[in-house]
Structure 1
Amino acid sequence: MTATLTAPETTAAGRASRGPHGLTWMVLRLHRTALVFWGLALTGAVAVLVWMVTIGDEARRGDAACVTPARDGYLGCAALGRLTVDDVYAGWTESVTAALAYAGLLVAAWAGAALVGRELESGTARLAWTQSVTPARWLAAKLAVPAALIVVGAGVVMPLLRWARRAGGPDLAGAWYYPDVFVATGPTAVAYPLAGLALGALAGLLLRRAVPAGGVGFAVALFLHYVLERLREDLWPKVTRTGTGSLEVHRSALVADRHTWTEDGVRHLRVTYHPESHFWPLQYVETGVLLALAAAATLTAFAVLRRRTP
């Protein structure tokens, strides 16, 4: 009799210990199409970036100066014109950079439409809530699983992209302050998708319909990109230099303003700019803004869910 009573308790305890793992597996299985797409995209991006590193030296040679006829170590212009590796390198760099920079838009649309909106619209979420899964735990799993995949994916691709860009040089890879380059080559590459995930999930909870929630999530994430791009120069104090006659700053600097005036017959100049060394301070501030927004959206999502469920 004792053995009969003890066995069910042990079994129930075993089931309880497997609960979180089971919920995680349920999220992965339910969204396996998105998981497959994520895996293929990550694998493809890694393969392309490693290949770009291998052609970096040749791409730089294709972007070099030329003379006709060839002399003094310079390639002849006719021979250089037949080299296309620099265009190939630049094109792939631009494509991978743009894809990583705007990944947050796709994440926001998917989170709003498929991750939350579709399940609320179809009733799948309420079915899960009747299976000993609380609404708060359901939402936590919905956010935690894709967030972990985002961190892993962007955390792998971003440093590889920086490596590939160094292999080809800034003339082919683009300046550090170009909008897509800036977003894709620092911690913002992780922060934008995380913010998109939280905003998309919030849209899904508010609208409870897949298509409208996906559209709103995408639109809000796009607006976020636009606003921060417009405000980026002001996220960290600029450097100001003044002089007379002529005044030049390093070619890698992001020039925000140039002002020229004449006083007592002397030409004065003032240049306000961000040197390349400001890349990381600007990255950290923008990342902090994005993570704060993601946290606020996540807390709001839990509050909305708590109000709308028993």
Structure 2
Amino acid sequence: MSTTAPARLPRTVLRLHRTALIVWSAFVAGLIGWLVWLNEITVDAVRAAEAECSRALWGCIDIIEHLDYSEPTGYIGTLTCYGFLAVAAFTGGALIGRELESGTARLAWTQGVTPARWLAAKLIVPALVLTAGCAALVLAFRRGWAANRDLMGDHWAFADVFVARGPATVAYALCALAVGTLTALLLRRALPALAVSVAAMGLLNVVLERCRARLWPAETRTAPKPFELPDDAWRLEWGRTGTGHYATYHPASHFWPLHLVETGIVLAVAVLATAAAFAVLRRRTA
């Protein structure tokens, strides 16, 4: 490999994994297109049906699910939220694991590319692509989810909606990239690295979902008589005391504090996993 090989590394990474790039681009474009269709075409049919129903003498029926508006939007949120599992699988299996298992990586290291520079290119290029795609998905989903709230049943605290509406989507994708890389460097076999990467990211997500309500101080309200919380409140605990009634909850205004704390935790894991990956690489190539 010539001395200009390091400069060509980003293009090499893109060319080597062009199929994955095409699939990712199609995934992002498909979900955004689906959201646009739902909010520009389907919602008009829903509104027209609601208007027709309101004029009928026999009253209205539940038409939202029948016209496929709320559920598809929920599916898009789920795919946006948990897309990081596919990133973990790709990174552990194809991006890093396969090249270590086949010896392609060692071949590159003997032709003018240092191991550290090889790994940096393997991380930076996908990181940029993932960040751009996830940011586009988040912006589209936020607009679609908020555009017709009266037709949606999903609460802001639902696990997939919570992640899909903000930068945690990007953080999870970058963390999956880092964890998949570390796992592949430790195991050096594609399939085991794929499985362990997905399991590790799934475990991280489950732990944070269960701890999510405690990432920011909740509010507590007490009253001598029963009371109702706002519909958009995330109710954590409620009941009676010796002197009245109480409820512990997160108001809708707590979304961003909760979301940003979780985003910071996930990014911290990503930084630690990246640092560990470079440390493992240095030790094994010294």
TM category (shorter chain) comes to: over 0.9
- Computing the radius of gyration from Cα coordinates, the structure with the larger value is 1
State whether structure 2 residue 267 is matched by structure 1 residue 291.
Answer: yes
Residues 254 and 276, structure 1, Cα contact 8 Å, conserved in 2: yes
| Alignment of 1:257 onto 2:237 | yes
Q: Which residue of 2 aligns with 1:53?
A: 39
Q: Give the aligned partner of residue 174 of structure 1.
A: 154
Note closer, same or farther for the CA distance 1:257–1:39 as it changes in structure 2 (3 Å cut): same
TM-score by length of 2: 0.93
Matched, 1:150 2:126: no
Query: Can you list the C-alpha shifts for 1:215-267, whole angstroms capped at 9, x where unaligned?
Result: 0000001001100000000000101111011121101100111131334xxxx
User: Which position in structure 1 is the counterpart of 2:284?
Assistant: 308
Question: What is the CA distance between 1:210 and its match in structure 2?
Answer: 0.2
Distance 2:200 2:52 in 1: 45
- When residues 251 and 202 of structure 1 are mapped into structure 2, their CA distance, relative to the original with a 3 A threshold, is same
Please report how far the alpha carbon of residue 165 of structure 1 lies from its aligned counterpart in structure 2 after TM superposition: 1.1
CA contact (8 A) 2:6 2:112 kept: no
The 8 Å contact of residues 234 and 250 in structure 2, kept in 1 or not, is answered as yes
- 5 Å matches for 1:114-193? 114-169=94-149, 171-172=151-152, 174-193=154-173
Counterpart of 2:174 in structure 1 is 194
Aligned pairs for 1:60-75 (under 5 A) are 62=49, 69-70=56-57
> Which residues of 2 match residues 7-156 of structure 1 at below 5 A?
19-54=5-40, 55-59=42-46, 62=49, 69-70=56-57, 76-77=59-60, 87-156=67-136
What is the TM-score when the length of structure 1 is the normalising length? 0.86
1:81-137, CA deviations, whole angstroms, 9 ceiling, x for partnerless residues?
A: 6x5676411121111111111011110111111111110000000011011000000
Ranges in structure 2 where 5+ consecutive residues have no aligned partner: none
More displaced stretch, 276-285 vs 21-30 = 21-30
Q: Distance in 2 between matches of 1:229 and 1:60?
A: 35
CA distance in 1, matches of 2:66, 2:231: 21
Q: Hey, what does 1:224 align to over in structure 2?
A: 204
Cα shift at 1:189: 0.9
Instruction: Work out the CA distance in 2 between the residues paired with 1:289 and 1:175.
Output: 23
> Counterparts of 1:176 and 1:85 in 2: how far apart (Å)?
19
Q: 2:247 aligns with which of 263, 266, 271?
A: 271
**What is the alpha-carbon distance in structure 2 between the residues aligned to residue 170 and residue 298 of structure 1?**
43
> How many aligned residue pairs are there?
285
Query: What is the CA-CA distance between 1:59 and the residue it aligns to?
Result: 3.1
Instruction: Give the distance between the partners of 1:28 and 1:136, measured in 2 at CA.
Output: 18
Which of 250, 259, 280 is the aligned partner of 2:256?
280
Q: Which amino acid aligns with 2:281?
A: L
Q: Given that residues 6 and 113 in structure 2 are in contact (C-alpha distance below 8 angstroms), is that contact kept between their aligned partners in structure 1?
A: no
In structure 1, list runs of 5 or more residues that go unmatched: 1-14
Comparing 135-144 and 164-173, the one that deviates more: 164-173
**For 1:127, what is the secondary structure of its paired residue?**
helix
| Matching residue's letter, 1:25 | R
Rounded to whole Å, the distance in 2 between the matches of 1:155 and 1:19 is 31
CA RMSD for the aligned pairs?
2.2
- Kept in 2, the 8 Å contact 1:129–1:135? The answer is yes
Structure 1 contact 59–86 (Cα < 8 Å) conserved: no
3-state SS of paired residue (1:273): strand
